[in-house]
Amino acid sequence: MSAKPMTLQELPADLDRERLPRHVAAIMDGNGRWAKGRGLPRIVGHQRGVDTLKELLRCCKDWGIAALTVYAFSTENWGRPLDEVNFLMMLFERVLRQQLDELIAEEVKIRFVGNLASLPESLQQEIERSMEITRHNTSIQFTVATNYGGRQEIVDACRNIAQQVKEGKLDPEAIDTNLFDRHLYTSDIGDPDLLVRTSGEMRVSNFLLWQIAYSEIYVTPTLWPDFDRAEFHRALCAYQQRNRRFGKV
Ligand code: FPP
């Protein structure tokens, strides 16, 4: 008799496949506290956070969720101690280099959004390479917000639109929410149905400000490194109990 795997590979029976979120976004918070609670340096928390992320990506893929978007580094995170910022940049680059073959094998399409031009040159190259190689993959759309700020994204979209108006290519009357959507970094993924935030903070922290207008928000006290499949299962159960009305009755 073959042993049943401990991980929930298949969609748990209490979840309705028809009512899964199409797009899940996550604010991966609590790595530092997770490490501190164990008397470890904060960077160990970030390393464990990568394992959590890999498992969540695999889980989304296993369970048929089409898109996962995560907040890896905000425009405000540059204000952290230099050692930690440098470690994170090095970690992103290392993870990308080491995981690229697996992303390809698993048919993941990876995208980075944010002000990428301010990232270290070598990281930018890895980002470019991974996006280029995986761009035709279709199993899941994985978006990593890096040096990302929601307000900046909206300002960038406004500038872009204003420039087109200035050049006479766009009639101001044609500006509506659909057109605006198309000028965001996330134009090809659509809005998240579910936004998960770990570590109990009740904030959106400048993440996908426009896109989360009607997202269901799920906050758990669990710290990111402990956010496993069972926790994600709980988040999806909570999501399926919500009545999404989009402003209607
Ligand atoms: C927030 O925890 C976490 C981050 C700022 C970094 C998240 C990054 C990863 C998990 C790595 C992702 C890697 C790739 C390649 C996408 P915190 O440091 O704010 O924790 P605290 O609130 O407890 O201090």
Residue 27, domain CATH:
3.40.1180.10
Q: Does the Cβ of 95 fall within 6 Å of ligand 1? A: yes
In 10 A of CB 9, how many CB atoms?
12
Print the domain residue range for 85: 19-149+192-240
Two structure tokens written together for 147: 């040096």
pLDDT digits (tens, 9 = 90+) for 99-112: 999 999 999 999 99
pTM: 0.94
Rg (CA), the chain: 19
Two structure tokens written together for 173: 């009357």
Helices 42-63 and 82-105, packing angle to 10 deg: 30
In a domain, residue 145? The reply is yes
Bridge-partner residues for 27, per DSSP?
71, 197
In a domain, residue 106? The reply is yes
For residue 125, report the distance from its CA to the centre of ligand 1, in Å: 21
In a domain, residue 1? The reply is no
The best mutation among 27, 29, 142 to test binding of ligand 1, ranked by most ligand atoms within 8 Å of the C-beta, falls on 29
In a domain, residue 57? The reply is yes
Residues 110/103, Cβ–Cβ less than 8 Å: yes
Distance between CA atoms of residues 138 and 193, nearest Å: 19
Two structure tokens written together for 6: 């401990």
Which residues of the chain have a pLDDT value below 70? 1-8
In a domain, residue 143? The reply is yes
Nearest atom, ligand 1, residue 146 CA:
16
Nearest CA to ligand 1 atom 11: 50
Nearest atom, ligand 1, residue 223 CA:
23
Q: Residue 236: what pLDDT?
A: 98
Residues 207/27, Cβ–Cβ less than 8 Å: yes
Q: Mean of the per-residue pLDDT values for the chain?
A: 95
Two structure tokens written together for 95: 């993870």
pLDDT digits (tens, 9 = 90+) for 79-94: 999 999 999 999 999 9
Q: Residue 9: what pLDDT?
A: 82
Q: Residue 243: what pLDDT?
A: 86
The total domain count for the chain is 1
In a domain, residue 218? The reply is yes
Active site residue 137: no
Active site residue 160: no
Q: Residue 90: what pLDDT?
A: 98
pLDDT digits (tens, 9 = 90+) for 194-228: 999 999 999 999 999 999 999 999 999 999 999 99
For residue 42, report the distance from its CA to the centre of ligand 1, in Å: 9
**Four-residue CA torsion sign, 225, 72, 233, 10:** negative
For residue 49, report the distance from its CA to the centre of ligand 1, in Å: 7
Nearest CA to ligand 1 atom 6: 72
In a domain, residue 182? The reply is no
